Amino acid sequence: MTTPPHPLHAIVDAMGNMTQTFRTWTQDMNRVVPLIGTGSPEGVVNARQGQTYMDDAGVAGAILYTKRDADIGGDTTQGWILV
């Protein structure tokens, strides 16, 4: 994981675009924050490989999922497994 940008460094450039350092850091943070929703994410939730998802209506043994495969047949909503 990357370290956060230095507080005295700009997070956007002169054109208003995120700097690469800030972009990389925000992408890393998005990977560690779990997604939360109702029901299974399989076929519904688009995410990066390694992302986690919590089913807020899940029952014991069916609450936490992880995105094991980046995609299945090009579909990025596929590839979730129950942990």
Name which residue leads in pLDDT, 60 or 68: 68
pTM above 0.85, yes or no: no
Provide the mean pLDDT of the chain.
89
> Per-residue pLDDT tens for 6-29?
777 888 989 999 898 888 888 888
CA distance 5 to 24: 10
**Quick check: 75 pLDDT over 70?**
yes
Q: Is residue 69 scored above 90 in pLDDT?
A: yes
State the Cα–Cα distance between residues 31 and 45, nearest whole angstrom.
14
